[in-house]
Amino acid sequence: MRDRRRYAMMSAPFLAIYGSVLVVLGFLSGLRLSRAELYPGLPLAVIVDFDLNSYHPAPCIHLGAKVFYTFNFWVMFRQQLKERKEEQSMKKESLEEITIRYDVWRRVLKTFWAVVVGYSMVVLIAIYMYQFRSVSALFRQIMGMSEEGLRDLGFERYSTVELFARILLPAAFLLACILQLHYFNSDFLTLTDLDDVPVQETSRQEELKTSVNMIADIIKENIEKLQKRLLKEQTGNGRSQETLDSIGLQTSSEKGAEEQQETTQEGNHSPI
């Protein structure tokens, strides 16, 4: 019943459009015009199949029945659109429920692998035990089935080579399930744990503020380095100027001493 309702809802848009087209054609057929004027060149079989005959002297009754029938499809189409909107809103509200189901799935995952391993082991052991004649006869006696019926269930006697080929794939599947259960299941549950996912609590505004502060600190640090460098260069230039001044003073004093010594010597050598 549910599937028929779903299919009816899915076909409602097409049926509504198709019914509307038939209503328009029925309205044109109800006009007091001849068939050649309404549908020139259209075969009579097509006119009969699509119910395009005129219903004089009361075409409104037939047209009203078509309108009422088409109106039902438009109502179904509107209901489909309404249900689609409700489904979209329910999907947004069911996020928390999906999370709960995910946690339940994680809790029963280990039990699922254990059941799969146990079932695979029972199947392999049963296939192997069935290869003995006494066991196969006991199976038929206990289960009350013929050999063909047991063959349908997967119980069949094989030769040694065939037996190895038949149980190779189930044995490999059992080995993979055992490895998953004992070695990888715990790590998988740890990786898929939503509680261990780091949650980013900082907002976009806080991130932007932190980035601006970092850039400001870098610019401030570079300005301080530049100021220290300029101050060091200015200090070096001042010391160089003082050195030059001291050298100039020393040179001038030496020159004055030499001139005074020369004057004294000239005074000593002059005639009395």
- The tens digit of pLDDT for each residue in 220-258 reads 888 888 888 888 877 766 665 666 566 655 555 655 666
Whether 74 shows a pLDDT value over 80: the answer reads yes
- The tens digit of pLDDT for each residue in 34-60 reads 777 777 777 777 777 777 777 666 777
Q: Which of 63-67, 159-163, 176-180 has the highest mean pLDDT?
A: 176-180
Q: Are residues 26 and 85 in the same domain?
A: yes
Mean pLDDT of the residues in the chain: 77
Q: Which pLDDT band, with edges at 50, 70 and 90, does 272 fall under?
A: very low
Share of the chain above pLDDT 90, in %: 1
- The tens digit of pLDDT for each residue in 90-104 reads 777 666 667 667 777
Q: Are residues 101 and 189 in the same domain?
A: yes
Q: Are residues 135 and 152 in the same domain?
A: yes
Q: Are residues 130 and 162 in the same domain?
A: yes
| Residue 99: predicted pLDDT | 61
240 within domain boundaries: no
For the full predicted model, state whether its pTM sits above 0.75: no
- The tens digit of pLDDT for each residue in 109-123 reads 888 888 999 998 998
Q: Are residues 37 and 103 in the same domain?
A: no
106 within domain boundaries: yes
| Residue 36: predicted pLDDT | 72
116 within domain boundaries: yes
| Residue 15: predicted pLDDT | 85
| Residue 59: predicted pLDDT | 73
Torsion, Cα of 107, 111, 117, 118 (10° steps) = 180
Domain boundary among 40, 60, 93: 93
209 within domain boundaries: no
Q: Are residues 99 and 87 in the same domain?
A: no
Domain boundary among 35, 60, 93: 93
Q: Are residues 87 and 135 in the same domain?
A: no
135-139, 154-158, 185-189, 191-195: lowest mean pLDDT where?
Answer: 191-195
| Residue 7: predicted pLDDT | 78
Nearest to 29 by CA among 47, 51, 50, 54: 54
Q: Are residues 47 and 131 in the same domain?
A: no
Whether 81 shows a pLDDT value over 60: the answer reads yes
Whether 108 shows a pLDDT value over 80: the answer reads yes
Q: Are residues 19 and 74 in the same domain?
A: yes
Whether 152 shows a pLDDT value over 60: the answer reads yes
Domain boundary among 39, 62, 93: 93
2-6, 16-20, 72-76: lowest mean pLDDT where?
Answer: 2-6
| Residue 115: predicted pLDDT | 92
Whether 8 shows a pLDDT value over 60: the answer reads yes
Q: Are residues 9 and 54 in the same domain?
A: yes
19 within domain boundaries: yes
35 within domain boundaries: yes
DSSP letters along 204-216, please? Answer: HHHHHHHHHHHHH
257 within domain boundaries: no
217 within domain boundaries: no
| Residue 126: predicted pLDDT | 87
Q: Are residues 62 and 85 in the same domain?
A: yes
Range of the domain at 28: 2-93
| Residue 271: predicted pLDDT | 46
Total of domains in the chain: 2
Share of the chain above pLDDT 70, in %: 76
Mean pLDDT confidence for 1-13: 75
